[in-house]
Structure 1
């Protein structure tokens, strides 16, 4: 009995301890449930809601770019693209094979899709090809029953209406790179959207923030795996602003067509406002190819082309200005008082300085020539003598006044400043002293002197407008805090050059085209358009040896293309009431009068024709 009683008491104690333990655990469970469901209820309600509702960004439409007359240059075009959803496809490679029989698919596209599918969740669509034509999209839709998991998506892509004619100015858009993301430092979440594109070159890059716009958003319900169930709310973004350029696309296209496949450039400026009406470089490239993505073969072809289609020659091509620089030398001499207009210099075809002989382009010489005659006939010996009397420092000072030697302030990257040498420059750069012979060579725009076509057009505009400091203008708006604002009006200041000196130089430019012995007599405008003033230039790209001179210098057309002289021509018109300046440079084109002048003449004719057909604006607008 005693043993049975002890055993019963032991079981009772164990049961009591077990019950107490169970009761304690139950109390802890109740307490934890109370904490989670009452104390922390609001926190977990928010977390649950955020897990169920996602906010996703909506890219805004990119702002259009238009010319001075409102003609669209860059627009957003409907973009059909084909996507695949992995979870709905049994054999992805077989499906891509079927798709390739309907629309062209490269091996690169196939490999890219296979890689992307492996990185993403099975229900996330993966792009296969963009920019499908309507016919390609329709063929896929017709065969949809044989292509499970293949979808057609509609969006927008950037399109450049005038392709190569605007390539160097417009630039292009392309996908956001890792460098772009690092530079943004999370400032704009739009950059992280798959497929979002930003400006990479030209005005697309410089005005990217304003053209990009502000993102919208949508609230969508998703399941635990992240699949979108339904859209709950949408807020559209702010479209990008419209950017207006100063260019006339009709003139731009004409200039590009006139240059053809020459390695050349042309700039047209309004001499009063500085507005650039045309600025083209040839050959060029199709910016739409960059938007869709270049193949490796296309990229290699652009890089290997000896005529450098990727280089914006109008702003980045640096050339010896040749005889187009003689107006600057003449102004420097006149303002310094070292020559008088009626004084003449004897040109026997060469000039001797020490043991060196400096030749004129005309071997038999020009005889006695005055300033105006020397400009009209482009006498090198006259300008050797004038440069020697004036000195390189005075020449450099005058060149800088007319926009040479520093990069023009224009809203593009890669603008080069050319080079106007001085004694200090040579000492600092080459560690050598200046020689007087180098002054003579600079006097005819050779040697170290370099200028871009844009600078030559600017120089000509300042000559034509009476010596006022206009600067090149490419857009009618500027960026202010990420938004587009009207360009402020500025009053051009004087360059401090006397009207008398300017009139003498302009008289010489008039004689170039209309004088009996002018070097560009064939470039005169049709009579109804008035008269034009200009200056030819031929810049050597190699030194002519003594042996070549004794044997008779080989003609440009008999030399390999890369050894031929550059051809240049600058002009303005009408002569009595100047309005437009034109500069043309043809790389390795030969003579300025034979090659560059006819191009500039045709471009000027088209400029004046378009001007007469356009509605007239108040004179005040021209001098903005």
Structure 2
């Protein structure tokens, strides 16, 4: 080997020593045409066993795009209720489509109301009134703690994450259903991984297993089986998840939709997040269903 070749080898090794090995941000996935043809849609996929980022659609916007979490925040409300004590999945409220909670007028997305409803069907059907009643009895620090545990607030510890701690939001009674702070697709993916691994892949690992949290996972499964997320349903395997629909751009006419979920429900292999900036949570669930179909 001549001196020129030795010099090139030396410089290459020196560069590796200084910079370290370069790990790609995203792995390889099959094409996801159902998501690619939806204008502006962002899809992120992770291995639910290891937490490794596998790829997605418009994954370069994982940290850049932020929207209100909307009804995804009901997961945090449920967790806070279960952790504070006094949780009872048989707690019942009557949803007539509108009510006043803690002095604030509240409307359910289902104008005719859900009728008498308990926790699991209220979660699966995303009943606003049910969760407003529950959240009104939970303190701001408790809600904030649950949202942080799930990864919805704060850093999500993925490669490429911008430096700097996000501001801690104030969750007020008027915005208990996810319209007081914004989240990125990457934060939603951390939420999906936290749920899929029963807390093992949370930023600060904690236990989400056992009888206390069983109703939450029943709600996640029923949301896809017969609730707002049924667009993600598959006959060959079970999917668990939650939808969210939020108003965007300060208007009450344009919406964005979220879906956060994992599959198979019992032994998750994939965690998936879909953001549809021009649709609803049900639309996002439909995209997620197509993505799970490609993956499985």
In the superposition, the TM-score normalised over structure 2's length comes to 0.86
Give runs of ≥4 in structure 1 deviating > 6 Å: none
| 2:166 corresponds to 1:390 | no
Whether the aligned pair in 2 keeps the contact of 1:419 and 1:450 (CA below 8 Å) is no
Residue matched to 1:462: 194
- Aligned mates of 2:89, 2:130 — CA distance in 1: 12
- Within the alignment, does 1:524 sit opposite 2:272 as a pair? no
Alpha-carbon deviations, 1:332-385, whole Å to 9, x = none? Answer: 011112431111111111121466411110111111111101111000001101
Tell me how far 1:532 sits from its aligned partner.
Answer: 0.6
CA gap of 1:543–1:382, structure 2 versus 1, over 3 A, is: farther
Name the CA shift for 1:246/1:590 in 2 (closer, same or farther; >3 Å). Answer: closer
Contact kept, 8 Å, 1:315 with 1:415, in 2: the verdict is no
Structure 1 residues 388 and 359, CA, compared in 2 at 3 Å: closer, same or farther?
Answer: same
Contact map agreement 2:104 2:174 (CA 8 A) in 1: no
Q: Does 1:566 align with 2:268?
A: no
> Quick one: structure 1 residues 416 and 385, their matched pair in 2 at CA, closer, same or farther if it must change by over 3 Å?
farther
Query: 2:92 maps to which residue?
Result: 344
- Aligned to 2:155, the other structure's residue is in SS state coil
Q: Report the counterpart of residue 71 of structure 2 in structure 1.
A: 323
Partner secondary structure for residue 504 of structure 1: helix
User: Paired residue for 1:264, among 33, 41, 44?
Assistant: 41
The corresponding residue for 1:502 is 213
Contact kept in structure 1, 2:233 and 2:239, CA below 8 Å: yes
> 1:247 is matched with which residue?
26
Distance 2:270 2:198 in 1: 13
The equivalent of 2:246 in structure 1 is 539
What per-residue deviation string (whole Å, max 9, x for no partner) do you get for residues 406-437 of structure 1? Answer: 122233153686665237xxxxxxxxxxxxxx
Report the Cα distance in structure 2 between the residues aligned to 1:377 and 1:410, rounded to whole angstroms: 31
- Taking the aligned partners of 1:414 and 1:246, their CA distance within structure 2 comes to 13
Larger radius of gyration: 1
Matched, 1:405 2:116: no
Question: Secondary structure of 2:221's match?
Answer: helix
Counting helix residues as a fraction of each chain, which structure ranks higher? 1
Residue 174 (structure 1) aligns with:
none
The 3-state SS of whatever aligns with 2:46 is strand
Question: How far apart in 2 are the matches of 1:388 and 1:236?
Answer: 66
**Structure 2 counterpart of 1:586:** 276
Structure 1 position 314, deviation (Å): 1.2
Provide the C-alpha distance between the structure 2 equivalents of 1:395 and 1:413, rounded to a whole number of angstroms: 24
Count of residues paired in the alignment? 287
Residue among 119, 126, 131 paired with 1:371: 119
Aligned residue for 1:249, secondary structure, equals coil
Separation in structure 2 between the aligned mates of residue 356 and residue 504 of structure 1, nearest angstrom: 28
Alpha carbons of structure 1 residues 368 and 400: separation in structure 2 relative to 1, 3 Å: same
1:60-99 correspondence to structure 2 within 5 Å:
none
Distance 1:511 1:234, change over 3 A: closer
Higher relative contact order (CA 8 A, sep 6+): 2
Could you tell me how far apart the structure 1 residues matched to 2:285 and 2:164 are? 24
Question: 1:514/1:413 Cα in 2 relative to 1: closer, same or farther (>3 Å)?
Answer: closer
Contact 2:193 2:201 in 1 (8 A): no
State the distance in 2 between where 1:470 and 1:605 align: 26
Residue 586 of structure 1: how far off its partner (Å): 1.3
Partner of 1:602: 290
Give the gaps of 5 or more residues in structure 1.
Answer: 1-215, 219-232, 283-311, 424-437, 472-492, 545-562, 609-624
Mark the CA change 1:393 to 1:494 in structure 2 (over 3 Å): closer, same or farther: same
Give me the TM-score of the superposition, normalised by structure 1. Answer: 0.43
Identify unmatched segments of 5+ residues in structure 2.
none
Contact 2:101-2:132 within 8 A present in 1 as well: no
After superposition, give the CA deviation of every residue in 1:84-107 in whole Å (9 maximum; x if it has no partner).
xxxxxxxxxxxxxxxxxxxxxxxx
**CA displacement at 1:257 relative to structure 2:** 6.5
Judged with a 3 Å threshold, the aligned counterparts in structure 2 of structure 1 residues 451 and 416 are, in CA distance, closer, same or farther, namely farther
Q: Does 1:513 align with 2:285?
A: no
- Distance in 2 of aligned mates of 1:281 and 1:417: 24
Q: Does 1:575 align with 2:228?
A: no
